[in-house]
Structure 1
Amino acid sequence: MIPPRASLFLLGALAKLTSGATTTATFTQPAAAPTDTSSFYVGASNGSLPYTATVPGLVFDRFIQVWLENTDYSAAAAQSVFQTLSQEGITLSGYYSLTHPSQPNYVAAAGGNFWGLASDDEVTIPANVSTIVDLLDAKGISWAEYEENMPTDGYLGDNFTNPDGYTYYKRKHSPLVSYDSVNQDPARLARIRNFNDFAYDVGNNTLPQWFFVTPNMKDDGHDTGIAYASDWLNYWLVPLLQDPNFNTARTLILLTFDENGNHAINNEIYSILLGGAVPSNLRGTIDNTFYTHYSTLTTVQNNWKLGNLGQQDCNATLANVFQFVADATGYKNNGMTNGTNLPLLNITGTIPGPLNPDYWAPWPAPNTSCVGAGGGFFWSK
C-alpha cells in the first residue's frame, strides 16, 4: 500500500525542517507529583476504575504507551532524560512512524490502519471497524486512555481551551475517540479519561492492563519542543517508574513519538522500552530491529494471543513484534533491521483510502485469512 518512491518529491514544498516548536515557555509542573490531582487538569475525576482481575500475558501483564510529538531521532537522543532512560531500558533504534501528520499515526496504532488519512481534521471511523479494544475486551483485559487536560471523560469535542486561554487538549492525539465502536458506546467512551482520573487510578491501584497516555499540547513537545517535553518526562514518567502501582515487575512501557519533525526524511523516531518486564540483562542495550506503530498492536496480540484485526497488523513487513517478546514466545520476525532497505514512511497525502478525499478508496474488508503474531483473525475464534 506504500506508493512509489517518486511520491517523495511531493513532500519538498511541505517539508518541515524543524520540530515545529512554537514557544519557548518554561515547564511548570501542574501538581506536586504525577499521582496528585490538579485544578489545571480542569476535569474533576469520576473516581477510580473498578478493580479487575489480571489476565496474565506470556511476557508482560501491563502495556503502557506514552507518546510525545514531532521530534527527530537525533534531537531526542541529545536530551539527557532520554540518555538516562535508555540506560534503564531497550532503545529501539529502528522504530519508525507510519506517515504524516499526527492524527493518522494515532488512529493506526488503535485500529491497524490509517485508511489514507493525511490531515488532522476530525474524522469518524465506522462502528464495524474493529480496534485493539475489541481484542482486549474479548479476553477480558482492562484498558483505558489518559488524556491530559481533557475536560470530561469521553469528551468528544475537537479541542478544549483551559481557563488560562490556552488550548492544551486536542482530539487528534486521542487514538480511540475517532472510532464509532468506541465513541458510540458509553461504557467504552468512559474509559477515555483525564489526568485527574489517572491520579485516582494509580493511587487506588486500579490502573488497567493496557493504557495509552497523551500529554497536553505543551507537555508532549508539539507547541514547545523536545527540551520542554523532556522536563515533563522528568516530572511525570521518571518518578512513576519507581511507583509499584504503575510499574510492576510485569509492566512494559513504550516511550515514543507520533512522528519525526522533518518530513523530508524517513520517519525514524526515538523509542525506548521500559518497565519491570524488560529483562535485566537487556537494560541499557540497543535493538536495531525494524518496528513501526503497528508493532504496538502485534506485540500486544502476541503476548495475550488475541488474534488480529486483519489490517496492517497482518503486514509482515511493517509489524514486527518487539524482539525480546518474540524471543520469549517463539515468534519469528521478518529479520529487517535499521540498516536494510526500509519502506518510505514519511509519505503523506497520496496513500489511497476512505479518509483521503483526493485518493478515495472504499473501506477495505479485513483479511480474515491472515494468521498474525497473536493468531488468526479474532472474529473467527
Structure 2
Amino acid sequence: MPQAFDRILIVMMENQYRNYVLSDAFMGKLARAGMSLTNSFGCFHPSQTNYVASLAGELCNVTNDDAPTTPLPQQTLIDRIEEKNVSWKAYMEALPPELWNENWAKPTYPAADAPLAQYPNSNDALARYFRKHNAFASFRTIQSNPDRWAKIVDENQFWNDVENGNLPQYSWFTPDIWNDGHYLYNTHFDTNPRTRLVPQLSAWLEYVFLGDPGVENVQGAQASGVANIGLNLDVDLLLSDPEKAWKASRVPEGTLIMITFDEADYDAVGYDTNYDGPNQIYSVLLGDMITPGSTWDRPFNHYSLLRTIEKNFDLNSLDRNDKDAGWVRGLWGQTYDWSKPQQADLPLGQVAEAALCGDVPCLVTDTDGALVTSRLEGGQWSAPVPTGFALPQGDVRLTAFKDSVMLVMPRDDGGFVFSLSRDGVHWCDPRPMPDDIRGSNLTLLGYRDIGDKDAAKAMVCWQDPQGFIFSSVFDGEWGTATPVGQLSDGPMALGQLGPSLFLVYKERNTQVMRVTSYNLAAFNVLVAKDFAGNPAPDNNTTQYAWAVADFEVGNFAKKLSALKNEYLADGKLTLATMDGELHLVHRAAYADTPQAYDTVFGLTGILTPGSERSNGFGSLDQAGWTREQQIPGVSLPAGGLHALCPDGADGLVMVWPGADTMMWSRAAYHRTA
C-alpha cells in the first residue's frame, strides 16, 4: 500500500470534551480546515494512561498520573519504527536538561535514579514539564539506549529542525503544562469545568505553534538561537486556497499534522452540555494531502492512531490493541459502500446463515425441509448441496472455526448438536452439546483467543426460560455454562474485534439493542491504583469474564437523546468483522420499516470491569458506534431474516430473501478518484 503521508507530527493537548473545543472559534475553524475525526476517543483516565497507550498499544497497568519509578518493560512504537529505519524524535516543550544516566542501562535501578517526574522542582518556580505527558521517558527500551534518549528533545530543537528541513518521519510534540491547556497560565490550578482553558490552548496553537510570532516576541527564543518560531500556517487561507496556504507555510511537503487531546474532561461538574460522549475528544488531521472540510466517522482512539502509522510506514504491529484497530482509510482515499443487490438464484427458505470457510463465503439455507449449503465463488453462488440434515425447529447457527465451519442445530428436547465441515459441503456426524446448553435465541462465534496464542475457539450464548443469558466456550470440548449477567427476550449476536468479544442483544420489552464485552487479553487486565497511589480494587479489570455492565448500542450525540428513534431493531441481529471494524446489521424496528441498517464499532482496548462500583474508565461506557447507514436496495421481511459474514477479501457479504429468490450484496472500501 503506498504511503499517504511522508511524515507525521502529533500534537497532544489536554483534558477537553470535543464540543468544548469545537465551541472555540479558532478550533472550530481548524476542524473545518482539515479532516475532522468525528468519533474520536481517549483510551482511559487520567492523562498519563493515554500517553502510554499512544506509544505502547496498551496501558501497561498504568492507572494514575504517578510517573513510573521503574521503567515500563513493554515494547513501543519506537521499536517498530527503528526496525524499518523510520526517523523519529519526541519534542517536549520546557524539557529539562537531563543527561542519559548509565544506571538506566541496568534492568533495575534505585527509584531516586528515575528520570525527572517534573521540572523545575523548586518552590519559587512552578513546573512546566511533567513526565506523565512524556511517555517516551518511561519505557525501558528508550531509557536504556543513550541514542534513543538523545531523541527526546525540547521545543528549540523542533523549531531548528523545521527551519533546517530536518523534521523526522515521526514527530511527537507535547506542549508545556500551560500551552496544552492543563493548567491556567502561571498556576498549577485548573478550572472545573475546564471550558475556560480552551481559549488558552487555542491561542497558543493559533498565534505561536501554527502562527508566525517572531522570535523577539517569545520568551527565551532569541537566547536559544532559534531563527523562526511557528509553522506560519494561515488557517483562513487554508480554507480558501489550501495549495497556496501550504506552500507559504514552514510545514514540509507531505507532512500530516494531528491535533488531538489525551482525554475528555472526565470529572467536570456543573456543565450541562450536549457533549458527544464520555471521553470523546477533538481530533483533526491537517496536511497538503487533506481536503478541507472532510470528515472521518469511524470510531477512533489512540490505538487507531498507532495502526494508521503502522499502515503508512509498513511497520510490524506491537501485537497489542494496535494490531486489529481501525485506521483512517480516508487518508488513502477509501470510501465504504454496498454494491447493488443481486439475485443469488437460491430458493427461499426459513434459514439464512453465512460464514467464511477458508477464504470462501459459505451459506446455509433450506429447501424442501432440509438444510442446504452454497458457496460464493467467482462472483456466483453455487447450486445448493444437501447437508444431510433436516430443517429443525429453532435456531440454526453457522460460524467460521479454524479452517472449517461449525454448524449448531437444536434438538427436539431443547438441547443442541454441532457439526464441522472443511468445505461447507461435507459434514461430520453431529455431536451433542452438554445438557446445560439449552434454551432459545442462540448465537455462535468462532474466534481467535488472543490470550491463548491466537488459539481457535468458539463460543455460544443463549437464553434460559427466564431470559438470563449464558455462554459456553468450545476448545475441543464445550465448557460449562457461564452466566453473562444480562437479560434478554429476543435475538442476539456475537462478534470479535481485536482482544474483545462483544454480545449485542435485544433489551427486554423494547426494541433497543444493548451490548456487553468479554476481554481475551492479559495486557488489558488492570490492577488499579487510585490517584493517590493506593490500591483501587473496584476498578480492576478482568480476563475471560463478562463485563458487569451493559450499554445501549448508539452514537454519542446529545447524550443519545437526539437519536432515540435510531438503533431500534426488529428480529435477527448479525455481527461481522472486517479489517479494524465490527459491523452490526439489523432490520428497522417497525412493520412499515423493512430497511436494513449497518452501524460500525471500531475501538480496540475495551476493558471489562469486574465490579459494579467500577468507574467505567476504558469500558463500553466510554465508547460509541457510528451513525446508522441504510443499506441501499435492501428490504428485509418481518423478523429480519438475513445472513452476514466476511467475504474473504477485506469486505462483507450479506444475503437475504427477496420476492422470488435469495438476494445478496457485498460491502467494501473502494479507492475514490
Tell me the distance in 2 between the aligned counterparts of 1:290 and 1:302: 17
Q: Deviations over 1:147-173 (max 9, x none)?
A: 000122667200002887121110000
1:75 and 2:248 aligned: no
Tell me the distance in 1 between the aligned counterparts of 2:527 and 2:29: 42
**Residue 266 (structure 1) aligns with:** 278
**Residue 353 (structure 1) aligns with:** 526
Q: Give the secondary structure class of the aligned counterpart of 1:157.
A: coil
**Residue 324 (structure 1) aligns with:** 330
Cα distance 1:328–1:189, how it changes in 2: closer, same or farther (>3 A)? farther
**Residue 395 (structure 2) aligns with:** none
How far the C-alpha of 1:325 sits from its partner, in A, is: 2.9
1:185 and 2:145 aligned: yes
**Residue 216 (structure 1) aligns with:** 176
Q: Deviations over 1:282-334 (max 9, x none)?
A: x11222211001111100111111120011112x4xx210131354599xxx8
**Residue 255 (structure 2) aligns with:** 251
1:198 and 2:158 aligned: yes
Q: Which amino acid aligns with 1:99?
A: F
Gaps of 5+ in 2: 101-114, 185-196, 212-230, 234-245, 269-276, 337-496, 498-512, 518-523, 530-534, 543-577, 581-673
Tell me the distance in 2 between the aligned counterparts of 1:329 and 1:171: 39
Q: Give the secondary structure class of the aligned counterpart of 1:312.
A: coil
Q: Deviations over 1:193-241 (max 9, x none)?
A: 0011112211211111101110000100000211110110012332315
Cα distance 1:171–1:293, how it changes in 2: closer, same or farther (>3 A)? same
1:303 and 2:312 aligned: yes
**Residue 12 (structure 1) aligns with:** none
Tell me the distance in 1 between the aligned counterparts of 2:177 and 2:139: 22
Indicate conservation of the 8 Å contact 1:248/1:275, yes or no.
no
1:159 and 2:118 aligned: yes
Tell me the distance in 1 between the aligned counterparts of 2:21 and 2:82: 35
Tell me the distance in 1 between the aligned counterparts of 2:579 and 2:295: 25
TM-score (norm 2): 0.40
Q: Pick one of 198, 209, 229 that aligns with 1:237.
A: 209
Indicate conservation of the 8 Å contact 2:41/2:299, yes or no.
yes
Cα distance 1:186–1:208, how it changes in 2: closer, same or farther (>3 A)? same
**Residue 131 (structure 2) aligns with:** 171
Tell me the distance in 2 between the aligned counterparts of 1:115 and 1:324: 30
Cα distance 1:189–1:269, how it changes in 2: closer, same or farther (>3 A)? same
How far the C-alpha of 1:72 sits from its partner, in A, is: 1.2
**Residue 22 (structure 1) aligns with:** none
Cα distance 1:328–1:81, how it changes in 2: closer, same or farther (>3 A)? same
> What are the within-5 Å matches in structure 2 for residues 52-131 of structure 1?
58-123=3-68, 129-131=74-76
Q: Give the secondary structure class of the aligned counterpart of 1:176.
A: helix
Tell me the distance in 1 between the aligned counterparts of 2:285 and 2:135: 20
Cα distance 1:110–1:355, how it changes in 2: closer, same or farther (>3 A)? farther
Gaps of 5+ in 1: 1-55, 335-339, 345-350, 363-370, 374-381
Indicate conservation of the 8 Å contact 1:142/1:210, yes or no.
yes
Identity of aligned residues (%): 30
Q: Which amino acid aligns with 2:64?
A: S
Cα distance 1:90–1:343, how it changes in 2: closer, same or farther (>3 A)? farther
Cα distance 1:361–1:93, how it changes in 2: closer, same or farther (>3 A)? closer
Q: Deviations over 1:247-291 (max 9, x none)?
A: 23311111010101134851100110001222x3xx112222110
Indicate conservation of the 8 Å contact 1:247/1:276, yes or no.
no
Indicate conservation of the 8 Å contact 1:154/1:191, yes or no.
no
Tell me the distance in 2 between the aligned counterparts of 1:137 and 1:143: 8
The range that moved more, 62-71 or 200-209, is: 200-209
Indicate conservation of the 8 Å contact 1:71/1:269, yes or no.
yes
How far the C-alpha of 1:128 sits from its partner, in A, is: 5.1
**Residue 295 (structure 2) aligns with:** 286
Tell me the distance in 2 between the aligned counterparts of 1:77 and 1:190: 36
Q: Which amino acid aligns with 1:177?
A: A
Q: Give the secondary structure class of the aligned counterpart of 1:96.
A: coil
The range that moved more, 105-114 or 320-329, is: 320-329
Q: Which amino acid aligns with 2:80?
A: L
Q: Which amino acid aligns with 2:6?
A: D
Tell me the distance in 1 between the aligned counterparts of 2:129 and 2:73: 27
Indicate conservation of the 8 Å contact 1:100/1:263, yes or no.
no
Tell me the distance in 1 between the aligned counterparts of 2:70 and 2:168: 25
Compare CA radii of gyration and give the structure with the larger one: 2
How far the C-alpha of 1:175 sits from its partner, in A, is: 2.3
Indicate conservation of the 8 Å contact 2:41/2:280, yes or no.
yes
**Higher-strand-fraction structure:** 2
Q: Which amino acid aligns with 1:258?
A: D
Indicate conservation of the 8 Å contact 1:124/1:180, yes or no.
no
TM-score (norm 1): 0.69
Tell me the distance in 1 between the aligned counterparts of 2:299 and 2:126: 38
Q: Deviations over 1:27-46 (max 9, x none)?
A: xxxxxxxxxxxxxxxxxxxx
**Higher-helix-fraction structure:** 1
The range that moved more, 230-239 or 253-262, is: 230-239
Indicate conservation of the 8 Å contact 1:171/1:177, yes or no.
yes
The range that moved more, 353-362 or 193-202, is: 353-362
Q: Deviations over 1:48-87 (max 9, x none)?
A: xxxxxxxx96111101100110111111001111122122
**Residue 49 (structure 1) aligns with:** none
Q: Which amino acid aligns with 1:83?
A: G
Q: Give the secondary structure class of the aligned counterpart of 2:210.
A: helix
Q: Which amino acid aligns with 2:139?
A: Y
1:137 and 2:146 aligned: no
Tell me the distance in 1 between the aligned counterparts of 2:16 and 2:331: 27
How far the C-alpha of 1:144 sits from its partner, in A, is: 0.7
Cα distance 1:145–1:246, how it changes in 2: closer, same or farther (>3 A)? farther
Indicate conservation of the 8 Å contact 2:93/2:174, yes or no.
yes
Q: Give the secondary structure class of the aligned counterpart of 1:291.
A: coil
